[in-house]
Structure 1
Amino acid sequence: MDTASLTFTAVFCALLVLSLITRTVLSSRQIRHVARHRGTVPTAFSHTISLPAHQKAADYTITKSRFGMLELSIDAALLLGWTLLGGLDWLNQALLAALGGGMVQQLALLAAFTLIGGLFTLPLGWWATFRIEERFGFNKMTLSLWLGDLLKGALVGTLVGLPIAALVLWLMGTAGSTWWIWAWGVWMTFNLLALVLYPTLIAPLFNKFEPLQDETLKARVNALMQRCGFAAKGLFVMDGSKRSAHANAYFTGFGAAKRVVFFDTLLKQLSPAEIDAVLAHELGHYKRRHIIKRIVLMFGLSLLGFALLGWLSGKAWFYTGLGVMPSLDAPNNALALLLFMMAVPLLTFFLSPLMAHMSRSHEFEADAYAMAQTNGADLASALLKLFKDNASTLTPDPVYAQFYYSHPPASERLARLLSTGPAHAARPA
């Protein structure tokens, strides 16, 4: 290899090692910290969370963290196998020999890479669902439902992903040096369309969505949304309980296609006033323009990503430095896409603390909005129930939380809610 290729290989290896060390240290800190505090419920929660519930959350967190470290090792091995150990190069050469160079070969490369990677990680998904989630009482899925979800997901991915990939590959081959701008436009258009079409076309393939039947709750929710100046296309209950005991509520869709979705598990666990408070929190994300801000951020970051891919795809050292010999008489566009998707997360991983910090700030703002529209005590009560029922640890490692947590730790979030007191609960529910 030439000097540029060797240099890029060294940078790639350094980022891989640094990310592995960082992830391992953070996970080890989390495991030790949670285990050290497993025997005592934090004082702030001693009257609301029992010791067995606290210990269950600790055990669940530790188990998932250890499993995450196993996944990390396997992912790193697969990454090296695909790149420096020649896996992707071998697959590309085999498909070139069988199909020749062209669009069919490139799409076959993308499909084969996805299929092989999925087969390698399939046992991990099975273990997470039928061993970890099952052990802690969260899994409600049968093996047939799990397999059905996999098949439906693969079908949707094929029907949606292959045409988008084909269009991007075509642009890479025909649109000249500025292809990445056009490809970025295609990608953003697809994402915006997905926000509109997902609730009505994709989500119903996996879950049942029925209109909310509880007239009293419906009246409360409609009154809250009217008070907040928010319009939704409908209020729906999702049969989340057929897959998991975890509970949630969310808005989905975009523009006029927005829907309010409640997990059926949530409706069973929370009182009407608590549901109001949780919904007001979600409304807060819209009213504080968090959704728009995240979309704009996604636009900006993806534009930078496509620009970087446009530059790297024309450099021979990008391919050879990652263990792949580019073709001289066939397009290398699919290779460029795959290598970029594998290499760039090693760099963007170190942006995680910034993204997590922004997300936690948004959560605090949404909580503040909810307290102005409903009762802060109801939101605090709802969050306590959700922390307990979802077995979320009350004692995460502070450094781990700062690096990863998209939501504030329970202690910080509830302390802020309770410290404001009823004075900020302008409209008790």
Structure 2
Amino acid sequence: MTSQFTLLFLAAFTLTLSARLWLTLRHIRFVSAHRTNVPGEFAERISLPAHQKAADYTVDRSKFSLQTTLVDAALLLALTLGGGLAWLHDFWTIRLDGLSYGLAIIFSVMFVSAIIDLPFSLYRQFIIEARHGFNRMSLGLFFSDLLKQSLIGLLIGTPVILAVLWLMTAMGNAWWFYVWLFWSAFNLLIMFIYPTWIAPLFNKFSPLEEGEMKTRIEALLARCGFRSSGLFVMDGSKRSSHGNAYFTGFGNNKRIVFFDTLLSRLAPTEVEAVLAHELGHFRKRHILQRIVLMFAVSLGFLWLLGQLIDATWFYNGLGVPAQNTALALVLFFLIIPVFTFPLAPLGSYLSRRNEFEADAYAAEHASAGDLVRALVKLYEDNASTLTPDPLHSLFYDSHPPAAQRIAHLQGAAQ
């Protein structure tokens, strides 16, 4: 059984890696082939230089993703069949035991992954983003953010990991269900405290100033029956020139946040239309659906891990001669993306369907024309390609291609 599982893992690994590389290469070729002409439906809205900038930005990011995909694949093999986890087990097992051993194993893998990712993050931010005019982050701010993220990860992650490992040991064969209950409660707690306790550690959130924009937004919220704990502007320009808007929190702790870069670019009616789209996600219960789906998927994964945790072939087949709860957790969540990659189009489809529904809601409660104009500006400002490869988009894009989305909105406006 051990050798059979090893072969199954290697087959899935090879197919997934090949598919990811092939899809990215397709995307690069497709975007490059359509670089010289703006799509007809955007010819009057997007200039050729802006279209070419988006194509170049997309190609640069895609080429970079080829490198990170290969490095991630090499790290996975190194940790499993290459003996990396086995070495970490040998290193820590003579120094620690019990929960402290499990914590050391998990944090060691996270540390190795972070160290390998660091130069890629620096290149992404200070070469690719800077080359295309998006980076506004200093090197000092980058490492300040990294330090804060690491400290928060340690402060929150340590008790969470210890609790999970304890539940796995103490709750018998049904441990996976108790871990799921704990994990679900923890995620709900993070969603609740993130807006007021964590996000302000990285950005400044200022109340939206009085004026036409705030008046329009408050009227829209009243029409849609939406209550929030405030309207805030985030200093997104501190790090990037990309623009965005989002909801955060839930219950009485919901906040509506606009990037300052978004407000500086869009007219009040266009901001209203963008917010109407975001409200559409709330009113159509997309956020609740995503939470329920996330909890259902996590329950399924934990149940599956519960069936594998005592199987010797699971560990040995992945190059680990020992078995315990910490190694089971690490191995399972390292390899699960290899086997679930074929399901990616389903997740993308569900997300794109929600985007169409939110657009339709926005067209009912604001102006479809204003939303079209806002989206075109955002496509241009964020250098989002108007010509993605259809198959690559099918796997990866959470939002519909620009042409499809604009066509639906124009139909709603008629």
Question: TM-score, with normalisation over the residues of structure 1?
Answer: 0.95
1:400 aligned onto 2:392 = yes
Cα displacement string for residues 247-278 of structure 1 (whole angstroms, at most 9, x for unaligned residues): 00011001111000000000000000000000
The residue aligned with 2:310 is 314
| C-alpha distance in structure 1 between counterparts of 2:245 and 2:116, whole Å | 33
Cα displacement string for residues 185-234 of structure 1 (whole angstroms, at most 9, x for unaligned residues): 00000111111110011111111111111332111111100000100000
Q: CA deviation at 1:420?
A: 2.5
| 2:95 counterpart SS class | helix
1:326 aligned onto 2:326 = no
| C-alpha distance in structure 1 between counterparts of 2:205 and 2:195, whole Å | 10
The residue aligned with 1:304 is 300
Q: Percent identity?
A: 52
AA partner of residue 98 (structure 1): R
| C-alpha distance in structure 2 between counterparts of 1:403 and 1:170, whole Å | 37
| 2:209 counterpart SS class | coil
Let me know the Cα RMSD of the aligned residues: 0.8
Q: For residues 34-73 of structure 1, what are the structure 2 equivalents within 5 Å?
A: 34-73=31-70
**Contact kept? 2:360, 2:412, Cα under 8 Å:** no
AA partner of residue 420 (structure 1): A
1:120 aligned onto 2:121 = no
Runs of 4+ in structure 1 displaced over 2 angstroms? 419-422
Greater CA deviation, 17-26 or 378-387? 17-26
| 1:260 counterpart SS class | strand
Q: CA deviation at 1:105?
A: 1.2
Give the number of equivalent residue pairs: 414
Q: For residues 11-410 of structure 1, what are the structure 2 equivalents within 5 Å?
A: 11-99=8-96, 101-326=97-322, 332-410=324-402
| C-alpha distance in structure 1 between counterparts of 2:340 and 2:218, whole Å | 41
Q: Please, which runs of 5 or more residues in structure 2 have no aligned partner? A: none
AA partner of residue 300 (structure 1): A
AA partner of residue 83 (structure 1): T
AA partner of residue 71 (structure 1): T
| C-alpha distance in structure 1 between counterparts of 2:65 and 2:229, whole Å | 38
Q: CA deviation at 1:98?
A: 2.0
| C-alpha distance in structure 1 between counterparts of 2:87 and 2:210, whole Å | 58
Cα displacement string for residues 360-418 of structure 1 (whole angstroms, at most 9, x for unaligned residues): 00000000000000111000000000000000000111111111110001111001111
The residue aligned with 1:427 is none
Question: TM-score, with normalisation over the residues of structure 2?
Answer: 0.99
Q: CA deviation at 1:81?
A: 0.3
| C-alpha distance in structure 2 between counterparts of 1:14 and 1:379, whole Å | 45
| C-alpha distance in structure 1 between counterparts of 2:150 and 2:12, whole Å | 31
Cα displacement string for residues 312-334 of structure 1 (whole angstroms, at most 9, x for unaligned residues): 1111111111111115xxxx111
